[in-house]
Amino acid sequence: MEDEHIRIDDLSSHLGPLFKFPKPSAFYGVFDGHGGPEAAAYVRKHALRFFFEDVDFPRTCEVDDVFMEGVENSLSKSFLLADLALADDCTVNSSSGTTALVAMIFGRHLMVANAGDCRAVLCRKGEAVDMSEDHRPIYPSERRRVE
């Protein structure tokens, strides 16, 4: 099996007193490995460092536009940091990779982010609503981004 996941239902308690998030606060991640299990396991093992410790994640209990913008910026930096760390770590097989999908809950706010051919889908009144888009080279916008 090349898949990994992380589930933290009470993020404030899990991270300790430096982070003051509203209730509920949670962090979930799914990492779908390919070419071996190493990359997915590595990202799962270091997820808290990548997503909260190394990126100047906002540490406030006030969920407003400034906080959510800070979360969005931190998520972008986190994905880049994880990618660079994977490339640098000699213990991870160079042919191993992973997609990543994370979801964070802060009070009544939900933020998702993904890398690779995975996406978040929300069911609203029986209808599937895409919350993110796959990153695949068949999509012109993704092809332009990576070229």
**pLDDT given at position 145:** 58
CB of 4 within 8 A of CB of 40? yes
**pLDDT at residue 147, rounded to an integer:** 66
Indicate the SS3 state at residue 103.
Answer: strand
Q: Domain boundaries in the chain?
A: 3-114
User: Strand locations in 9-145, DSSP E?
Assistant: 25-34, 97-106, 109-115, 121-124, 127-130
The predicted pLDDT at position 129 comes to 92
Residues shown for the chain: 147
Give per-10-residue mean pLDDT for the chain (147 aa): 91 86 92 89 91 80 84 90 85 82 93 89 93 71 62
Q: For residue 82, what is the enclosing H or E element?
A: helix 65-88
Two tokens, residue 72: 């969005």
What is the pTM assigned to this prediction?
Answer: 0.84
CA 50 – CA 95 distance, rounded (Å): 21
Place of tokens 């007193």: 17
CATH number of 3-114: 3.60.40.10
**What angle is formed at CA 76 by the lines to CA 106 and CA 122, rounded to 5 degrees?**
50
